[in-house]
Amino acid sequence: MKVYAAFDDTDVIDAEFGTGKLVRMLEPKLPDGARMIGVVRHQLLVADDIPYTSHNSPACAILELESLELIQPLIEIAASHLESLASPGSDPGLCIAGGADVSQDLIELGQQAGVRKVTQDEARDAAGDIWLSGHGGTNDGIIGAAAAVGLTAHGWEGRFIEYGGLREMPDPISVAALQAADILPMTLERNVQPPAPGDMIATQGWLRPRLCGGRAVLPLLQKQPGLWCSIGRSSENG
């Protein structure tokens, strides 16, 4: 079964690492029978009246669990992981939900969090019976964590910061190798042939597919016949 596990660390400015890395670091701690498919970073509203460090970006792990019985051990492991590694002075939150348990209310909460300030009460109401917990400070992190689960389950927003070992993939990488990793190359050009299996893709050492239609999609621009470049290179971490 598919399960979503989201953190929002609301880390402090001099933190050793941010929320995205915190989620990625959960993988080796997963219980037997649980597998991490990928991690998606989401961008929420950045505004003066919303506490954030630099980007207001929670992250959500997409997991595959062999059994419902693994949900409770996963919650305990994730909560312990978050509490032990969250930045001092932060307001971390955790949200965990089975894919079938994510409501339209939670999806809409995530969408609203991208355009306006959302409250803790709204996050709790939208989460309903799924797991949502604060782990320090003001517990404001429950807002971003709930929003990240809703957006990831919706499947049309965010970018993968981990997926099939993307950080170890070569640059450039062939279209065939990308497809073998279950990442779909998608041209943004007009009136050009789609990328062929033997074509090469320059990633600038920063391969970050988008979450589109519930799968990993890499937008491309053509540099010349047989050579493409991925878009979205950023100087930020993640």
Asked if residue 77 is part of any domain, the answer here is: yes
Q: What is the pLDDT of residue 10?
A: 65
pLDDT at 97 over 50: yes
108 in the same domain as 68: yes
Asked if residue 65 is part of any domain, the answer here is: yes
56 in the same domain as 10: yes
**Domains in the chain: how many in total?**
2
Could you tell me the CATH number of the domain that includes residue 53?
3.30.70.2200
Residue 23 token pair: 């989620």
202 in the same domain as 100: no
138 in the same domain as 101: yes
How many helices (H) and strands (E) in the chain? 6, 12
Residue 79 token pair: 């909560």
The distance between the two most distant Cα atoms of the chain, rounded to a whole number of Å, is 54
Q: Residue 235's pLDDT band (boundaries 50, 70, 90)?
A: very low
Q: What is the pLDDT of residue 95?
A: 98
Annotate 8-41 with DSSP letters as a single string.
E----TT-SS-HHHHHHTTGGGPPTTEEEEEEEE
Q: Residue 113's pLDDT band (boundaries 50, 70, 90)?
A: very high
Annotate 104-137 with DSSP letters as a single string.
HHHHHHHHHHTTS---HHHHHHHHTTSEEEE-ST
pLDDT digits (tens, 9 = 90+) for 127-151: 999 999 999 999 999 999 999 999 9
Cβ atoms 207, 218 nearer than 8 A: yes
Domain span including residue 29: 2-159
Q: Residue 207's pLDDT band (boundaries 50, 70, 90)?
A: very high
Give one word for 19, left, alpha or beta, with left for phi > 0 and alpha for psi -120 to 50.
alpha
Residue 31 token pair: 């219980």
Q: Angle at Cα 131 formed by Cα 126 and Cα 136, nearest 5°?
A: 100
Q: What is the pLDDT of residue 117?
A: 92
Q: What is the pLDDT of residue 46?
A: 77
Q: Mark which of 142, 159, 176 sits at the end of a domain.
A: 159
pLDDT digits (tens, 9 = 90+) for 60-77: 999 999 998 999 999 999
pTM of the model: 0.93
Q: What is the pLDDT of residue 45?
A: 86
Q: DSSP state, 224?
A: E
| Nearest CA among 116, 134, 110 for reference residue 40 | 110
Asked if residue 210 is part of any domain, the answer here is: yes
Q: Residue 122's pLDDT band (boundaries 50, 70, 90)?
A: very high
pLDDT at 30 over 50: yes
